[in-house]
A = this chain, B = another copy of it.
Amino acid sequence: MVTLKQLAEQLNVSVSTVSKALHDSEEISPDTIERVKALAKFLNYKPNKLAVSLKNSKTNTIGVIIPNILNHFFAKALFAIEQEATKQGYNIITCLSNELQSKEEDSLQLLSNGSVDGFIMSIAEETQIISKTDHISNILKQDVPIVLFDRVSDNLETDKVIIDDFDAAYQATNHLISEGRQHIVLISNIDELSVGKLRTSGYLEALKESVNHTQDPVIVTIKREGSIEEHIDQLFKTHQTIDGIIAIDNTSGVVALQKALKHNYSIPDDMSIIGFSDENVLQFTDPKLSTISQHTLDIGKASVELLINRLNDKSSTDLVTKTIKAKLQLRGTTK
């Protein structure tokens, strides 16, 4: 690696002159600036980021902690975070917690030592289940800002970016009710998560409020990843009067549609299905799945904006929670 010192030696000037020249300092003669820059370019000089960061106590790097990169929602969020961060001159260091509290803690510890200016994260499933967030508040205590997105915790005093999970499920349910559906089932493999609980509440509330709708709520909870298909198959066997499905996670909507067609339901005549899936699954379904669109790109972008705002004004004490409205996208699986 070429250093300032080497440039200085070759040009017979001092290190500080070189440094200033490269920063277009007014103190330096145009001529010197010219010469310095020419040589720097020629030798492909790049300032050592470590040294600059150490000096400035500023890394221009954001730590991003993702619970599960194989979940398309998070992959897309990461995509958006990276894009916006790059645009704003920040790098990202990505850690994957794989839904484990221990890995989440490790990553926070490991990077909160000057490696990053702040964090953007979504809470690991395990952390949400055992509801222990000390490892996160410890970091906050050390004045390293954190933005939480999607999966958040009321116990943590941070900026947050969420979607209106309750409302989204509430509206989806109401839509099915307005279609005249009488037996609307909710399918979830995320009932341990904050977002899962909120979406379920929205569903329950919509059913409760609906006057001329007397069904009891039916909630299918799926624990293990692999068993979604079995559960849904089972559902169609045991509940033959089902005419509406709200799937509140990424994939079960698609699976439900698949199975419904297999069971010879005519969609959407016999049954309506609404999923929380991203558009990427649409190519796999026919008819096209109606979904609640989460505007994942906006979520990622907003997270970066919030964090950078916070970094630029650490003094500000009021926390902001930004809600990105989800939108019901009716396609081929609803009337």
Contact = CB atoms under 8 A, between A and B. Distances in A.
Interface string A273-295: 00000001101111000000000
Q: Chain A contact residues (Cβ within 8 angstroms of B): what range?
A: 35 or more
Nearest to A96: B82
Contacts of A114: 1, 48-51
A54 B46 contact: no
Contacts of A79: 69-70, 96
A255 B280 CA distance: 12
Contacts of A59: 50
A237 interface: no
Given A70-B76, A82-B94, A46 B113 contact: yes
Contacts of A49: 113-115
A91 interface: yes
A46 to B, nearest CB: 4
A10 interface: no
A95 interface: yes
| Tally of this chain's copies | 2
A35 B48 CA distance: 36
Nearest to A112: B46
A109 interface: yes
Contacts of A142: 1, 44
A214 to B, nearest CB: 34
Nearest to A229: B283
A251 interface: yes
A91 B49 CA distance: 16
Contact of A54 (B50, B92, B94, B113): B50
10 contacts: A1-B113, A46-B112, A50-B50, A50-B114, A70-B72, A70-B75, A70-B76, A79-B96, A259-B286, A284-B285
